[in-house]
């Protein structure tokens, strides 16, 4: 009876404003409750064992059901862990902010290195046989840790939780993936003291700092490699793998002559990198760093990664070890805390570009959450681009499709990773074009994409389930549809994405037993009219290339809410 009244009221007011609709829906009354059977009997009169009360009748958790209570402190513990659902902002130090005193360090870029004007774009060079690398790898723009520090207000202003720095170790190239000494900060960038100052200020602004660890290989100009190569009796000889079967005489990463691989099977190498008290991993954590992103983590392997992760946690409990792993992530835990979730990246971009049926995309994510586990998913980074891929504005040039990808990046489980400049739609394709310097001349408060980025970040900060909630698929044929939820109904978020070129109207089914029939679901990011729940089967209408993010209205209207006895 109550539902009939509710449906009649909703039908009559469908075209009214949300406030009016909520007022009208208040005319419905709950059905008369049936008396519970007396203790010790069933409804048929058969004796039963006394049933203890399920919960207290007042106070926090008074209306938690048995499923809520099964979670225990799960969500509170997730919320206390900064690694879960954090917003990460990635920078290449050389390319992010112009040096505050370039002339004072111009001597650090001797030929054949070149120092480019900040307005120049990164372009592909030629391969230098004499150097064993590409000429664009030694093009520099002069950014450093001090200039980055001067821009922390901008990074913080976006709503960033974590600042992630590409490698800063002493290296010959601009990208520093060819480390010469892990313990030294490259002088073009500054010093360990400059790094400590950056970390200290980042922390004062409420941001963590994650460093890039390149521990599978070093650079050919590293003194220990050069010594080991020329002297078979060198104590560093077995830090690398030398053999005439390798081009150049040593095993290198992907046959790049500039990147000789480390022999991780040598305990002394592992001691230097992570196992020893004064190892690279531990010493930077003591300097204040909050975690490590591990380059080519798949090359390091499951077992050594697990050892490294354990060492990092021993040194700094709660630190993050996230790995660059493009494989399916299932078995990379507990070797890592999280992965750069390239599988999820592919699902998101393929969905936005119409290369995957929407419902298939939902099933893929559901399988991944089941296989990987939500705890590991929440700590894994969700990226649309980075320093190794085309920028997202190049991959998806259409702004409406790009926004579909971005709404998925910020609503699916994980920690969104923003690559510097993506918030102003910087473009760039094949290496090194995606590594051009930050276009500060385009940064303004009313830039549409900066406004949109801040809106997405605020969406996560305002809605707990998007940061730490579980994932549940919504049954749909034509939409990518899912729910993020906690043990509190008010946290619930429902997401619908239509990546097709046709409007979609269909009845879907969610799986949330707490969402009340007759209580509206409202759009939290756009201006779509409220949606009627319809007994867990709302009817959703979406124009082409659009999305909808809904949450329930749980607050009383004129004193009434169906949620009064639901946690």
In DSSP terms, 506 is beta-bridged to 540
Reading the block at residue 109, the tokens are 């870029």
Reading the block at residue 420, the tokens are 């510097």
| Number of neighbouring beta carbons within 10 Å of residue 561 | 17
Which of 178, 188, 295, 337 does the annotation list as catalytic? 295
Instruction: Spell out where 107-195 has E strands.
Output: 114-115, 127-128, 133-134, 139-140, 162-165, 169-171, 179-185
CA-to-CA dists, residue 188 to 92, 182, 440, angstroms: 13, 15, 21
Cβ(416)–Cβ(160) below 8 Å: no
Q: Catalytic residue at 483?
A: no
CA-to-CA dists, residue 361 to 224, 416, 453, 470, angstroms: 48, 18, 24, 17
Can you state the percent helix, strand and coil of the chain, rounding each to 5?
35, 20, 45
Q: Is 500 exposed, middle or buried (0-12, 13-18, 19+ CB in 10 A)?
A: middle
Our measurement of the distance from residue 329's CA atom to the centroid of its chain's CA atoms, rounded to an integer in Å, reads 14
CA-to-CA dists, residue 386 to 92, 320, 408, 417, 446, angstroms: 10, 19, 17, 8, 24
Which of 324, 385, 470, 491 does the annotation list as catalytic? 324
- Scored b (16 or more CB within 10 A) or e, 228-257 reads bbeeeebebbebbbbeeebeeebbbbeebb
Reading the block at residue 316, the tokens are 């700094």
Reading the block at residue 444, the tokens are 């303004």
Cβ(434)–Cβ(391) below 8 Å: yes
Measured over the CA atoms of residue 86, residue 91, residue 96 and residue 99, the dihedral's sign is positive
Find the farthest-apart pair of alpha carbons in the chain and give their distance in angstroms, rounded: 95
Instruction: Spell out where 513-565 has E strands.
Output: 521-523, 539-542, 546-552
φ and ψ at residue 210, rounded to 5 degrees: -115, 130
SS3 annotation, 332-395: HCCCCCEEECHHHHHHHHHHHCCCCCHHHHHHHHHHHHHHHCHHHHHHCEEECCCCCCCCHHHH
Q: Catalytic residue at 295?
A: yes
CA-to-CA dists, residue 231 to 103, 267, 486, angstroms: 39, 21, 61
Q: Is 349 exposed, middle or buried (0-12, 13-18, 19+ CB in 10 A)?
A: buried
Which 8-state DSSP code applies to residue 559?
T
CA-to-CA dists, residue 354 to 383, 506, 544, 549, angstroms: 18, 19, 11, 20
- The H or E element containing residue 369 is helix 358-372
DSSP, residue by residue, 433-452: GGGPPP-GGG--TT-HHHHH
Supply the residues annotated as catalytic: 295, 324
């Amino acid at each position: 009876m109550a539902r009939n009244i509710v449906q009649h009221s909703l039908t009559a007011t469908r075209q009214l404003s949300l406030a009016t609709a909520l007022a009208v829906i208040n005319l419905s009354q709950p059905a008369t409750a049936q008396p519970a059977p007396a203790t010790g009997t069933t409804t048929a009169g058969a004796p039963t064992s006394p049933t203890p009360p399920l919960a207290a009748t007042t106070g926090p958790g008074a209306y938690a059901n048995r499923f809520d209570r099964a979670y225990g402190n799960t969500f509170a513990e997730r919320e206390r862990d900064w690694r879960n659902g954090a917003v990460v902002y990635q920078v290449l130090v050389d390319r992010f902010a112009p040096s505050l005193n370039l002339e004072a360090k111009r001597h650090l870029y001797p030929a054949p290195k070149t120092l480019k004007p900040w307005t120049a774009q990164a372009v592909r060079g030629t391969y230098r046989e004499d150097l064993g690398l590409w000429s664009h790898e030694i093009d520099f723009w002069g950014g450093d840790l001090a200039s980055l520090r001067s821009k922390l207000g901008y990074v913080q202003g976006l709503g960033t939780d974590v600042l992630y720095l590409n490698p800063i170790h002493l290296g010959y190239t601009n990208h520093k993936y060819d480390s010469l000494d892990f313990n030294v900060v490259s002088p073009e960038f500054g010093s360990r003291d400059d790094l400590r100052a950056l970390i200290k200020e980042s922390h004062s602004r409420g941001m963590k700092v994650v460093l890039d660890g390149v521990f599978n290989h070093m650079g050919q100009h590293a003194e220990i490699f050069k010594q080991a190569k020329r002297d078979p009796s060198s104590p560093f000889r077995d830090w690398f793998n030398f053999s005439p079967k390798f081009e150049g005489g040593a095993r290198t990463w992907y046959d790049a002559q500039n990147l000789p691989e480390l022999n991780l099977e040598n305990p002394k190498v592992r001691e230097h990198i992570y196992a020893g008290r004064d190892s690279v991993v531990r010493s930077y954590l003591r300097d204040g760093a909050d975690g490590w992103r591990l380059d080519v983590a798949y090359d390091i392997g499951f077992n050594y990664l697990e050892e490294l992760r354990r060492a990092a946690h021993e040194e700094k409990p709660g630190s993050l070890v996230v790995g660059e792993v493009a494989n399916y992530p299932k078995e990379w835990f507990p070797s890592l805390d999280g992965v750069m979730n390239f599988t999820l990246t592919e699902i998101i971009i393929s969905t936005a570009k119409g290369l995957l049926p929407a419902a298939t995309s939902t099933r893929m994510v559901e399988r991944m959450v089941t296989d990987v586990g939500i705890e590991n998913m929440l700590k894994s980074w969700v990226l649309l681009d980075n320093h190794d891929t085309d920028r997202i504005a190049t991959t998806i040039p259409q702004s409406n499709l790009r926004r579909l990808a971005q709404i998925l990046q910020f609503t699916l489980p994980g920690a969104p990773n923003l690559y510097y400049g993506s918030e102003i739609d910087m473009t760039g394709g094949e290496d090194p074009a995606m590594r051009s310097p930050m276009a500060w001349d385009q940064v303004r408060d009313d830039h549409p994409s900066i406004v949109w980025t801040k809106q997405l970040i605020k969406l996560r900060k305002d809605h707990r389930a998007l940061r730490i909630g579980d994932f549940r698929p919504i049954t749909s044929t034509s939409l990518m549809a899912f729910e993020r939820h906690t043990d509190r109904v008010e946290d619930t978020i429902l997401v619908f994405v239509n990546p097709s070129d046709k409007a979609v109207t269909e009845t879907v089914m969610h799986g949330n037993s707490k969402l009340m029939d007759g209580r509206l679901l409202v759009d939290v990011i756009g201006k779509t009219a409220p949606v009627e729940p319809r007994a867990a089967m709302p009817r959703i209408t979406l124009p082409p290339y659009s999305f909808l993010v809904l949450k329930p209205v749980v607050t009383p209207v004129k004193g009434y809410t169906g949620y009064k006895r639901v946690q």
